[in-house]
Amino acid sequence: MTPPGAHEPTALPDDTLSGCGPLLTDSVAAPGMLTRPLRQVLFEHVRGQGSTTRADMGRALGISAASVSAVTSELIAEGFLRETDESDTSDSDSPRSARGRPPVGLQVAADAHHVIGIKLGDLRHTAVLSDFAGVRLADLALPTRPHRKSAQALIAEARALIDQLLDGQGMTRRDVRCAGVGLAGLVDFRTGNVPWSPMLDAPGTGLRAQFEAALGMPVYLDNDANLLTMAELWFGGGRGKSDFAVVTIEHGVGMGLVLFNQLYRGARGMGLELGHTKVQLDGALCRCGKRGCLEAYVADYALAREAATALDQHASLSESPLALLEELFAEARRGNEAALSIFRRAGRFLALGLSNVAQVFDPEVIILSGGRMQYDYLYAREVLAEMQSMTLTGGRAPARVEIHAWGDLVWAQGAVALALGELTGQLLGAQAHRAVTA
């Protein structure tokens, strides 16, 4: 059941057809473009379009034909772009040579580099292998035990996941330029430290450096909700949006925010911990150790805790949170008032959290994503109506809510976007540009 006012759940887009990366418009591109060399801007435009021509590129970006021609020739010579046999002849105004030859298409040289994206989860780890054009080449998921573990144990599991994925493609870690890795918790993107994570038994000081030493490649570490937001920005419904928020409900509650077509991480690189905002003083105990957090009322473990108390379940089922949630949902469908009351209560707290997101950030759209989007009671008509009633809009149209029920691979796909973005900046960004011109 999809409630009125919400969009139908969507699957992961086919990344083999439409390119990847933010589709910048003139109104939002300017701030970011000022910090990027022209070669990076042109390369990212080609990757975003999937395939384009020099003439179309110049018109879209407002750049002279001479500049486009000179820079793209360099990118071709350096192995970042390639000319294609298929030409774009749909535009009757496209300039042609004196012989009438249509403009030559340009694409990313996909095989130039490969990256891996990894999501380390409570129940399973997932990984995606991608080429430089962002096309998914292979993926893999491996189960894990849902308990806190040492950094060394977590890294060993990630390394085993990578090696198994690459072995299936006849590749090794030496064939991969870098990896994006995401996990739940407070992740400092700039330093690579993880002050707190529900997956670690101690703070992960220098965790990124430990990953790099174990994997033998550059690693970019980020909060998993940021990865989901990157997946929307690079491969999903957020590609053409300037400002949007992503709220995810899984074993925890996370949030990512895009401002001016770019991921916002906060002043200290810690991201936006919506799940740990307080919705009730001295309230339910959260797994972070504090009370009254939003996720203590909405997340998997919170619903399972309520279900174990409200429903008469045998011990083996109570030991499996996901199985308990499935039974709770089934009971709610059958009209069990205790089960319905649990979802209604969680929905009201979620409405409060979403209202706060809309009030503080005023996003164009709030995307609800994650595995628990199958439990439609969390985003029923009443939940969205209560969210809107709590939000001061001043007569304006309220923030739209979309429901995106992607599979587990979306997190790793977001880690691919993270890796591709960082690698592109390293190879074509300001630092690389200074090195070339020095």
Whether residues 197 and 275 fall in one domain: no
Question: Structurally, how many domains does the chain consist of?
Answer: 3
Asked which of 95, 112, 129 is the last residue of a domain, the reply is 112
Task: Specify whether the CB–CB gap between 192 and 210 falls below 8 A.
Answer: no
Whether residues 382 and 247 fall in one domain: yes
Q: Please name the amino acid found at residue 175.
A: D
Whether residues 108 and 118 fall in one domain: no
What pTM does this model have? 0.86
Within-domain flag for 48: yes
CATH number of domain containing 104: 1.10.10.10
CATH number of domain containing 370: 3.30.420.40
Residue 359's contacts (CB-CB under 8 Å, 6 or more residues apart) are 391, 392
Each residue's pLDDT expressed in tens, for the chain with a length of 438 residues:
333 333 333 445 444 447 999 986 544 444 444 578 999 999 999 999 999 999 999 999 999 999 999 999 999 999 999 999 755 444 444 444 445 566 789 999 999 999 999 999 988 999 999 999 999 999 999 999 878 999 999 999 999 999 999 999 999 999 999 999 999 999 999 999 999 999 999 999 999 999 999 999 999 999 999 999 999 999 998 898 889 999 998 878 999 999 988 899 988 777 688 999 999 999 999 989 999 999 999 988 888 888 887 776 544 445 567 788 888 888 889 999 998 999 999 999 999 999 999 999 999 999 998 766 777 877 788 888 999 999 998 888 778 999 887 788 999 999 999 999 999 999 998 767 555 554
Range of the domain at 102: 26-112
Within-domain flag for 5: no
Whether residues 71 and 121 fall in one domain: no
Whether residues 89 and 216 fall in one domain: no
Task: Specify whether the CB–CB gap between 254 and 275 falls below 8 A.
Answer: yes
Whether residues 355 and 259 fall in one domain: yes
Q: Are strands 365-369 and 244-249 parallel, antiparallel or unpaired?
A: parallel
Whether residues 75 and 217 fall in one domain: no
Nearest CA among 364, 362, 418 for reference residue 229: 418
Whether residues 395 and 254 fall in one domain: yes
Within-domain flag for 199: yes
Instruction: Scan for tokens 């054009």, then name that residue.
Output: 133
